[in-house]
């Protein structure tokens, strides 16, 4: 055989782009390029044989041998059709060929080609692969692979020879041209089969994915369609219904009707509620106003229009409740009981009038204004039991208790509510409080009444006045509620720290009861009788019988707190209880008798380690007594001198009255230069700076006058003031000492600080009656109406016997010394 097996022939060549013609396949090709058209024509006129080669680059328009793949297919043209210079032909592939060379020819390409012998070895492996290929092809078609039905049927019949099968399948693959060309160039049957299988498997994967995606998309699309349709239907139904009954279900309407009935509203309010309900039921379903109206109806129906608790005031029972709940506070309790008694008497009188009138048959004309007493107002520092006594009053009267804080409110709307046109409008705090109480006659505590109206928009205090005024509050109007609510049965109690900042109009309506703060003795008893048992109870230690020894109580009072009330004291006791509770829970040993050492263990180091009196005396610093919002307190007034022109500098946020006191003190020293051992015109050569700590807290009032004058004299004379002498009193230009207020608070504070002597204006002697005897016992009181006496008591070795000597020894600055 030898060389003769190589068949070499010359045939017209067509270059094709974008596809590959395989043996055993029929392919439709279209030719537009002149050379191709001519080659096809020429071949068709002879033996119809043509060599088909794929171009390496589809963009090349006049390909030469280099531009063609080396392996192609020899084919016959079975049909041909010409139109508009283009030729469409069906070509049937036969065999792989190799292009040896292009022989020169003018009209078209002629190639010298060599036939490649087909590998037809059918091993068992090839057979298996062929079967697999048929299967996969079927699968691909099922997944939606596009192919001509005839071809498909032939391929899946299982009757096709593996050689043919693989090329036919390859020609149908959805892969790039260069990959197809590679398959054409794979000459062994087995590896070609494997490659085709691989490509087909990949295609199936993609088809599969595409199918699931398209199915999902389809489903989503259908869902959306369904929903859109349902929505449209719903709209139509709602529109139909809207003409009859609006959005409200019948159920909701009847629910509101029931609630309106149950609320037992006054007639006019009921009318209003029904009107709103009607409006609501006619609203279109999409109208956002529905929500507002519902909210409003809820408020209307939730108000306790006619719910009240029995109002049985038995003075005896009330006295017992107050006594049971609180230690001391004798004066406050008395005043409260008197108040309740008056309430009771008025009520009885009213009843009498009522019955009389009833007999006469004109029952309705009665106004029970008479039964409304003035409002109680508790004034005192924090933690003195104002709130807790308010609660006791409620308990004694069997009424509900509510508390509303007015601290920091600036806006009338806070009291009286926002109009309903505001988004998110609500009733004011009064109406909210009443709703929370759930009855129309609660004990209503208005906390921090001294903190309103300080910087206001609108006027909260005038709205408050209306709420408190018995003449007007029977028909209290809240902007949100719009209908009047009867507040006449509410028992209002206001509380605050100081009286001065309460607007005068409000103050006039109130009966002020002051809570001056507790002495150490009172705190001791409150702790023993109330706070300690209460904390034990709260911490689940009531059964443990733990005793707090007196020394421990006093330690906590003096070294861990410094306050007028008992709030921090209670906090510290709670702290100790927590520590014990933990020991109990951990089943560790704990003490049943708490001593000072235990207190230190539980609460850490002392917070106030030394008393004022234990510190050193200083020049230019006197101890004043003052009343602050947190109760009585001692303040140190400092004076510094410097060369200058007689200016008086005042710092520490002093109010006008306090400034004037300072000026009066300065003037007095100028007038008394001689006694003080100063030059006549000393005031022109120096500036005086008076400071009252703590700088950030505003202070006012005349009662620091005495202390300022004493500091000033001490500074000018260069002699220290006794630190343990506290003083209070207003001074005049002539050095007279005038009466001041808050004596009890001040003395309690002085006692707390450990002062030994207190200087008071003579006219305040009477106020000492209020001060507990035990406190008085520890303090020496000096009453006077002359500044000279104050100086004598407070400044060491005063008056200086030999002015000159004193001046020298005490290094008085030379610029103020007299000759
Ligand atoms: P305020 O309202 O004056 O700031 P609270 O009424 O809140 O003070 O009192 C603080 C705590 O001190 C409360 O637990 C209260 O029961 C208690 N308390 C105050 N004073 C007494 C007292 N005289 N007797 C018994 N407990 C008191």
Catalytic residue among 36, 371, 703, 711: 703
Q: How far apart are CA 725 and CA 625, in angstroms?
A: 10
Helix (H, G, I), strand (E, B) or coil at 746: helix
8 Å CB contact between 796 and 724: no
DSSP conformational letter for 1? -
Regions of the chain with pLDDT less than 50 = 1-4, 244-246, 363-372, 456, 805-819
Nearest CA to ligand 1 atom 5: 385
Measured from the Cβ of residue 485, the count of other Cβ atoms closer than 10 Å reads 25
Q: How remote is the CA of residue 385 from the centroid of ligand 1, in Å?
A: 3
Q: How remote is the CA of residue 388 from the centroid of ligand 1, in Å?
A: 5
Confidence (pLDDT) at 237: 79
Report which of 52, 59, 9, 45 is spatially closest to residue 30, judged by C-alpha positions.
52
Report which of 41, 28, 170 is spatially closest to residue 91, judged by C-alpha positions.
28
Q: How remote is the CA of residue 326 from the centroid of ligand 1, in Å?
A: 8
Q: Which residues contact 605 (CB under 8 A, 6 or more apart)?
A: none
Closest atom of ligand 1 to CA, residue 389: 6
H, E, C per residue of 490-555: CEEEEEECCCCCCCHHHHHCEEEEECCCCCHHHHHHHHHHHHHHHHHHHCCCHHHCCEECHHHHHH
pTM of the model: 0.61
Q: How remote is the CA of residue 534 from the centroid of ligand 1, in Å?
A: 12
Q: How far apart are CA 12 and CA 10, in angstroms?
A: 7
Report which of 113, 35, 16 is spatially closest to residue 74, judged by C-alpha positions.
113
- pLDDT, one tens digit per residue, over 217-268 is 888 888 888 888 888 887 787 777 665 444 556 777 888 888 888 888 898 8
Report which of 384, 650, 654 is spatially closest to residue 498, judged by C-alpha positions.
384
Cross-strand bridge partners of residue 95: 74
Q: How remote is the CA of residue 232 from the centroid of ligand 1, in Å?
A: 65
Q: How remote is the CA of residue 497 from the centroid of ligand 1, in Å?
A: 14
Q: Which of 392, 449, 520, 566 to mutate to test the pocket of ligand 1 (most atoms within 8 A of CB)?
A: 566
8 Å CB contact between 631 and 380: yes
Which two three-digit tokens encode residue 456? 């206001």
Q: Which of 334, 384, 403 to mutate to test the pocket of ligand 1 (most atoms within 8 A of CB)?
A: 384
- Angular region, 701: left φ>0, alpha ψ -120 to 50, beta rest: left
Report which of 373, 372, 398, 402 is spatially closest to residue 387, judged by C-alpha positions.
402
Closest atom of ligand 1 to CA, residue 328: 23
8 Å CB contact between 409 and 415: yes
Q: Which of 385, 451, 531 to mutate to test the pocket of ligand 1 (most atoms within 8 A of CB)?
A: 385
Q: How far apart are CA 207 and CA 308, in angstroms?
A: 78
8 Å CB contact between 56 and 16: no
Q: Which residues contact 614 (CB under 8 A, 6 or more apart)?
A: 754
Closest atom of ligand 1 to CA, residue 530: 25
Q: How far apart are CA 18 and CA 14, in angstroms?
A: 13
8 Å CB contact between 332 and 380: no
Closest atom of ligand 1 to CA, residue 388: 6
CB within 6 Å of ligand 1 — which residues?
326-329, 382-388, 526, 530, 565-567, 570
Nearest CA to ligand 1 atom 21: 385
Measured from the Cβ of residue 236, the count of other Cβ atoms closer than 10 Å reads 10
Confidence (pLDDT) at 457: 59
Q: Are strands 49-54 and 8-16 parallel, antiparallel or unpaired?
A: parallel
Q: How far apart are CA 286 and CA 814, in angstroms?
A: 89
Q: How remote is the CA of residue 392 from the centroid of ligand 1, in Å?
A: 11
Query: How far lies 125's CA from each of 121, 122, 155, 193, 324, in Å?
Result: 10, 8, 19, 10, 106
Residue 811 annotated to the active site = no
Nearest CA to ligand 1 atom 10: 383
8 Å CB contact between 812 and 718: yes
- pLDDT, one tens digit per residue, over 366-392 is 444 444 457 899 999 899 999 999 999
Residue that is written with structure tokens 């006449």 in the block: 488
Nearest CA to ligand 1 atom 17: 385
8 Å CB contact between 414 and 462: no
8 Å CB contact between 283 and 246: yes
Q: How far apart are CA 510 and CA 499, in angstroms?
A: 11
Q: How remote is the CA of residue 710 from the centroid of ligand 1, in Å?
A: 37
Q: How remote is the CA of residue 580 from the centroid of ligand 1, in Å?
A: 23
Which two three-digit tokens encode residue 630? 């947190």
- List the alpha helices (DSSP H) in 118-188: 124-142, 149-156, 162-172, 177-185
Instruction: Cis check for the bond before 531: say yes or no (omega within 30 of 0).
Output: no
Nearest CA to ligand 1 atom 22: 326
Q: How far apart are CA 347 and CA 110, in angstroms?
A: 131
Cβ-count burial 285-311 (b if 16+ within 10 Å, e if not): eeeeebebbbebbebbbebbbeeebee
Which two three-digit tokens encode residue 396? 């004694």
Which two three-digit tokens encode residue 185? 């160039």
Measured from the Cβ of residue 77, the count of other Cβ atoms closer than 10 Å reads 20
Q: How far apart are CA 170 and CA 62, in angstroms?
A: 28
Report which of 296, 297, 290, 292 is spatially closest to residue 262, judged by C-alpha positions.
297
Report which of 42, 17, 60 is spatially closest to residue 109, judged by C-alpha positions.
42
Report which of 616, 618, 619, 577 is spatially closest to residue 594, judged by C-alpha positions.
577
Nearest CA to ligand 1 atom 24: 326
Residue 392 annotated to the active site = no
8 Å CB contact between 639 and 711: yes
Q: Which of 325, 383, 404, 493 to mutate to test the pocket of ligand 1 (most atoms within 8 A of CB)?
A: 383
Catalytic residue among 145, 333, 722, 746: 746
Nearest CA to ligand 1 atom 6: 385
8 Å CB contact between 76 and 50: yes
Q: How remote is the CA of residue 531 from the centroid of ligand 1, in Å?
A: 9
Q: How far apart are CA 318 and CA 321, in angstroms?
A: 5
Q: How far apart are CA 257 and CA 262, in angstroms?
A: 9
Confidence (pLDDT) at 421: 80
Closest atom of ligand 1 to CA, residue 522: 23
Residue that is written with structure tokens 């290929």 in the block: 133
Confidence (pLDDT) at 710: 93
DSSP calls for 412-443: HHHHH---TTSTT----HHHHHHHHH-SSS-E
- Laid out side by side, the sheet with 621-628 consists of 648-651, 686-691, 631-643, 621-628, 725-727, 757-761, 780-784
Q: How far apart are CA 355 and CA 409, in angstroms?
A: 44
Closest atom of ligand 1 to CA, residue 534: 14
Confidence (pLDDT) at 248: 55
Task: Quote the distance between the C-alpha of residue 374 and its chain's center.
Answer: 39
Measured in residues, the chain has a length of 819
Cross-strand bridge partners of residue 624: 635, 727
Closest atom of ligand 1 to CA, residue 329: 23
Closest atom of ligand 1 to CA, residue 378: 3
Nearest CA to ligand 1 atom 18: 385
8 Å CB contact between 443 and 394: yes
What is the sign, positive or negative, of the torsion defined by CA atoms of 454, 460, 462, 466? negative
Cβ-count burial 488-507 (b if 16+ within 10 Å, e if not): bbbbbbbbbbbeeebbeebb
């Amino acid at each position: 055989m030898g060389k003769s097996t190589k068949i070499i022939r010359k045939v017209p060549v067509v270059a094709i782009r974008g596809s590959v013609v395989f043996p055993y396949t029929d392919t439709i090709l279209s030719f537009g390029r002149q050379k191709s058209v001519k080659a096809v024509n020429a071949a068709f006129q002879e033996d119809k044989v043509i060599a088909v080669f794929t171009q390496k680059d589809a963009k090349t328009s006049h390909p030469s041998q280099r531009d063609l793949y080396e392996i192609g297919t020899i084919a016959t043209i079975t049909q041909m059709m010409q139109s508009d210079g283009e030729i469409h032909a069906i070509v049937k592939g036969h065999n792989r060929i190799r292009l040896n060379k292009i022989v020169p020819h003018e009209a078209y390409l002629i190639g010298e080609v060599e036939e490649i012998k087909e590998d037809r070895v059918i091993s068992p492996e090839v057979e298996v692969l062929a079967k697999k290929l048929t299967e996969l092809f079927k699968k691909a078609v099922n997944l939606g692979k596009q192919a001509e039905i005839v071809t498909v049927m032939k391929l899946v019949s299982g009757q096709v020879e593996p050689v043919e099968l693989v090329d036919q399948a390859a020609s149908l693959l959805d892969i790039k041209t260069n990959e197809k060309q590679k398959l054409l160039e794979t000459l062994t049957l087995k590896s070609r089969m494997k490659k085709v299988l691989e490509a087909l498997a990949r295609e199936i994967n993609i088809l599969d994915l595409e199918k699931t995606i398209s199915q999902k998309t389809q489903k989503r699309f259908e869902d959306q369609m369904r929903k859109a349709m349902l929505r449209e239907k719903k709209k139509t139904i709602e529109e139909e219904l809207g003409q009859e009954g609006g959005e409200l279900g019948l159920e909701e309407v009847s629910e509101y009707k029931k609630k309106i009935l149950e609320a037992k509203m006054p007639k006019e309010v009921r009318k209003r509620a029904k009107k709103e309900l009607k409006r609501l039921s006619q609203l279109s379903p999409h109208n956002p106003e529905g929500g507002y109206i519902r909210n409003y109806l809820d408020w209307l129906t939730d108000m306790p229009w006619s719910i009240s608790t029995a109002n049985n005031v038995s003075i005896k029972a009330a006295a017992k409740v107050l006594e049971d709940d609180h230690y001391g506070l004798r004066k406050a309790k008395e005043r409260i009981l008197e108040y309740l008694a008056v309430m009771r008497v008025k009520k009885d009188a009213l009843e009498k009038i009522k019955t009389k009138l009833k007999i006469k048959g004109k029952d309705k004309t009665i106004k029970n204004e008479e039964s409304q007493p003035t409002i109680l107002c508790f004034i005192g520092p924090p933690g003195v039991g104002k709130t807790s006594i308010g609660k006791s009053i409620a308990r004694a009267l069997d009424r509900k208790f509510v508390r509303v804080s007015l601290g920091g409110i600036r806006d009338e709307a806070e009291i009286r509510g926002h109009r309903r046109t505001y988004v998110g409008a609500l009733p004011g705090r009064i109406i909210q409080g009443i709703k929370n109480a759930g009855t129309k006659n609660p004990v209503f505590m208005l906390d921090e009444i001294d903190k309103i109206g300080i910087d206001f928009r609108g006027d909260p205090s005038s709205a408050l006045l209306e709420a408190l005024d018995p003449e007007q509050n029977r028909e209290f109007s809240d902007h949100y509620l719009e209908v009047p609510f009867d507040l006449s049965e509410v028992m209002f109690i206001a509380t605050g720290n100081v009286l001065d900042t309460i607007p005068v109009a409000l103050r006039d309506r109130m009966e002020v009861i002051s809570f001056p703060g507790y002495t150490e003795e009172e705190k001791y008893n409150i702790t023993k009788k109330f706070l300690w048992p209460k904390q034990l109870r709260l911490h689940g230690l009531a059964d443990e019988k733990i005793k707090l020894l007196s020394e421990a109580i006093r330690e906590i009072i003096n070294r861990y707190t410094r306050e007028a009330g008992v709030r921090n004291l209670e906090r510290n006791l709670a702290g100790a209880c927590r520590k014990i509770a933990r020991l109990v829970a951990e089943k560790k040993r704990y003490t049943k008798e708490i001593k000072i050492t235990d207190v230190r263990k539980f609460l850490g180091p002392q917070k106030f380690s030394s008393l004022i009196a234990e510190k050193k005396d200083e020049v230019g610093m006197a101890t004043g007594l003052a009343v602050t919002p947190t109760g009585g307190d001692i303040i140190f007034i400092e004076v510094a001198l410097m060369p200058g022109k007689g200016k008086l500098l005042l710092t520490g946020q002093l109010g006008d009255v306090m400034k004037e006191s300072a000026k009066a003190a300065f003037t007095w020293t100028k007038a008394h230069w001689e006694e003080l051992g100063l030059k006549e015109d000393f005031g022109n050569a120096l500036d005086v700076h008076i400071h009252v700590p703590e700088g950030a807290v505003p202070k006012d009032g005349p009662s620091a006058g005495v202390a300022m004058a004493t500091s000033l004299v001490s500074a000018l004379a260069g002699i220290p003031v006794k630190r343990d002498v506290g003083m209070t009193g207003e001074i005049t230009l002539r050095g007279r000492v005038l009466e001041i207020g808050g004596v009890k608070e001040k003395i309690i504070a002085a006692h707390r600080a450990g002062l030994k002597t207190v200087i008071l204006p003579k006219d305040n002697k009477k106020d000492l009656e209020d001060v507990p005897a035990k406190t008085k016992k520890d303090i020496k009181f000096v009453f006077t109406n002359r500044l000279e006496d104050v100086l004598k008591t407070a400044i060491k070795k005063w008056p200086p016997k030999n002015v000159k000597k004193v001046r020298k020894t005490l290094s008085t600055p030379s610029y103020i010394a007299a000759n």
